[in-house]
Amino acid sequence: MTKALTTEAPQQSEPIHHSMLVSDINRQYPQCGPVFEKYGIAGCGGEYGPAEPLFIFAAAHRVPLRELVDELNRALRGEWKDERGVQKTQGMAEAASETLYKRFVFGALFVALTAGFGLGLVNLTRITLAQSFYEISGVLKQIHGHAQVFGWVGLFIMGVAFHAVPRMKMQPLRHVRAAKCCFVLMLVGVLLRVLAQPLARHPVGAAALLISGILELAAVGLFVRLLGGAVLRSEQEREPYEKFIWTSVAWFAILAMWNFEIVFQMFLKRSVGIPALQDALWIHAAFFGFIANMIFGFSLRVLPHFLGLRETKTWAANVAFVLWNVAIFLRYPVEQLAWAASVLEAMAIVLFVWALGVFARRRTKIEIKGVDNTFVWFVYLGYAWLLIAAATPFHADVFRLSASSRHTMAIGFVTPLIFGVSYRVLPIFNGVNLWSTRLMRVSFWHLAAGSTLAFSMALNNVFGTTWSYAWSGIAGFLVFAALVMFAVNIAMTLRTRAEKFTRESIVKLTTRVTELLEIHPDIRPVLIHGGLGGLAAMQHDPPRFVTIEFAARRHGIDPQPLIKLLNEEIQRRKKHESH
């Protein structure tokens, strides 16, 4: 053992092994330097590195020892290929896709403000004034519902998924142009559907309606292919949250094919309306299959880190996943099983909320300078309404609460979760702070009041009084006002340019780790020793959207001490260079 740890320089014919000293390797075999640079540990411990065994050095920096030794020996034999050029190409592809999500978000907001929430507000106002749900034709209700599912939520989910999922799986999104085409196909398809469905009795309107279904199907198919390709290329282990996301994607594809079949039948029959049962089935699959599964998946992935939640009960989340998706198939096709579906849904919701721990005592309280924790209120509101929805059966024949329960899911659960996560995540994506925390708070109270009054639609069916209809109308205005405030806040946040990091910049919460490493490549060991141990195992820089704050939360550490350490180290090195 003593001999193995000697500082005597190894012979060139001797292969590099785990007990050799790092300083000896660098001194005798300079061709191994690029290998150390690849793992971000070049320059540690002086010109030739520390006089310590390779296995100790690798363990301290959390670098896989076997891979390191193998690559050093291949470099010694001239067989090692520097893959940093490939990584640079991947970085360029990632940079090209960095702002892709913005067009999807802006498109989603446009649809929400017009054919989604906007048309919904018009419908509710007319219903309130007439004191009758029959004042609005089924066609307008169906257009509103379709725009909300594929336009507002669909475009929003596609944009966030295109940005986040490849980065979660450490794979760049290839074919960015195809992803941009996906956006155009979906947006045009949704808008064409809004305009064409009321005119479907005419040949031109019927043809436009059919084309809308084709465009939406093509967009979803392209989305599934691009996103699936990034995940399949990843070598990372599968995580529990992924089953929810991929089930959601599968339901999205089913909805697109089902939607095409619906518009094809409408095209053949020159019909402007969808049969009520088929429309109810489609909406139910959209809310419970596509949207809820995606929200559940992203909740498991990001909320524990942003809220400091206790450890997730994975087994309970897995059981909830099965119960939830089985209930979808029992809800409408067999009326006798509607109650069974309600019970399964209620069990799944309670189990999932407990598994996530959103209302449990937090593991740690997250307080970040410059970040307003009001986004947490939206999360609490959304999951509180989800629990209420569990007690309010969705089926039209159960207590006549179908419309109320549907809007409880849409306005009470889906919208607060989209608002809350967006307020927290989208500024990180753009590398800036939220434009207005005050506007976020005001939008919360409008949405909370609006979602509460939206539930009063149940009273319209039970009592049918003037005041019960008035509540519905007021709810529409409150929710639309919340959406307008949300849209303005997010638009201004995404229009803000992230500050470019330079040698004169100080490290902040919003500093991107990749930009920091590009300016100060030798700072990587400081990041690792400061708590970002995951960097040691990465063979390339992290995704460009990863900020110091985001990386720190992913590693469960307070970012402020790390920021202080980095700034002190940068200043120390600048003084050393000046001398």
CB under 8 A, 24+ apart: contacts of 318-321 = 318/240, 318/243, 319/348, 319/351, 320/296, 320/347, 320/348, 320/349, 320/351, 320/352, 320/355, 321/243, 321/244, 321/247, 321/296, 321/348, 321/352
pLDDT score for 329: 85
392 lies in some domain: yes
pLDDT score for 7: 35
Q: How confident is the model at residue 314 (pLDDT cuts 50, 70, 90)?
A: very high
Q: How confident is the model at residue 486 (pLDDT cuts 50, 70, 90)?
A: very high
Same domain, 400 and 545: no
State pLDDT tens for residues 171-184. Answer: 778 889 999 999 99
User: Three-state SS across 450-461?
Assistant: HHHHHCCHHHHH
- Scan for tokens 């099983």, then name that residue: 337
pLDDT score for 11: 40
pLDDT score for 94: 56
Same domain, 197 and 311: no
State pLDDT tens for residues 407-463. Answer: 778 899 999 999 999 998 898 788 788 999 999 999 999 999 998 887 766 555 555
Containing H/E element for 318? helix 314-331
Mean pLDDT (whole number) for 156-179: 87
Residues 6 or more apart in contact with residue 527 via CB below 8 angstroms: 513, 516, 517, 535, 562, 566
400 lies in some domain: yes
Give the torsion through C-alpha atoms of 365, 366, 370, 373, to 10 deg. -80
Give the residue from 209, 240, 274 where a domain finishes. Answer: 274
26 lies in some domain: yes
| Helix axes of 155-168 and 292-307: crossing angle, nearest 10 degrees | 50
- Contact yes or no for 249/227 (Cβ under 8 A): yes
State pLDDT tens for residues 340-372. Answer: 888 899 999 999 999 999 999 988 777 766 678
pLDDT at 20 over 90: no
DSSP 211-267: HHHHHHHHHHHHHHHHHHHHHHH--SPP-TTHHHHHHHHHHHHHHHHHHHHHHHHHH
Give the residue from 82, 103, 129 where a domain finishes. Answer: 82
Give the residue from 441, 470, 498 where a domain finishes. Answer: 498
Half-sphere exposure of 132 (CA within 13 A, CB side): 5
Same domain, 32 and 167: no
State pLDDT tens for residues 279-295. Answer: 888 998 999 999 999 99
65 lies in some domain: yes
223 lies in some domain: yes
State pLDDT tens for residues 218-256. Answer: 999 999 999 999 888 877 788 899 999 999 999 999 999
Residue 145 C-alpha from the chain's centroid: 23
State pLDDT tens for residues 392-405. Answer: 655 444 434 455 66
The CA distance from 20 to 69, in Å, is 10
Name the maximum alpha-carbon separation found in the chain.
Answer: 94
Residue 167's alpha-carbon distances to 115, 313, 493, in angstroms, are: 32, 25, 21
Same domain, 343 and 369: yes
Mean pLDDT (whole number) for 54-80: 74
Determine how many CB atoms are found less than 10 A away from the CB of residue 220.
26
Residue 335: burial class (beta carbons within 10 Å; 0-12, 13-18, 19+): exposed
Q: What is the mean pLDDT of the chain?
A: 83
Same domain, 183 and 70: no
- Contact yes or no for 517/524 (Cβ under 8 A): yes
485 lies in some domain: yes
CA-closest candidate to residue 158, choices 221, 116, 104, 228: 104
pLDDT score for 160: 94
Same domain, 160 and 254: yes
Q: What residues make up the domain containing 527?
A: 513-578
Same domain, 397 and 425: yes
State the sign of the Cα–Cα–Cα–Cα dihedral 238, 241, 246, 249.
Answer: negative
Question: Considering only 234-238, 490-494, 574-578, which range has the smallest mean pLDDT?
Answer: 574-578
The CA distance from 418 to 395, in Å, is 25
* pTM value surpassing 0.95: no
CA-closest candidate to residue 166, choices 429, 512, 499, 433: 429
The CA distance from 527 to 560, in Å, is 13
Q: Of the spans 87-91, 123-127, 227-231, 481-485, which averages the highest pLDDT? A: 481-485
Q: Which residue has the higher pLDDT, 104 or 536?
A: 104
State the sign of the Cα–Cα–Cα–Cα dihedral 454, 458, 459, 465.
Answer: positive
Residue 386's alpha-carbon distances to 69, 345, 391, 440, 570, in angstroms, are: 52, 10, 9, 22, 48
Q: Which residue has the higher pLDDT, 306 or 38?
A: 306
pLDDT score for 12: 40
Same domain, 56 and 119: no
286 lies in some domain: no
Determine what percent of the chain is predicted with pLDDT higher than 90: 43
Mean pLDDT (whole number) for 7-27: 63
pLDDT score for 506: 87
Question: In sequence order, which ranges of 391-414 are alpha helices (DSSP H)?
Answer: 402-407
Same domain, 116 and 75: no
- Domain total for the chain? 4
Same domain, 328 and 403: yes
Looking up residue 345, the CATH number of its domain turns out to be: 1.20.210.10
Same domain, 75 and 100: no
Same domain, 341 and 455: yes
5 lies in some domain: no
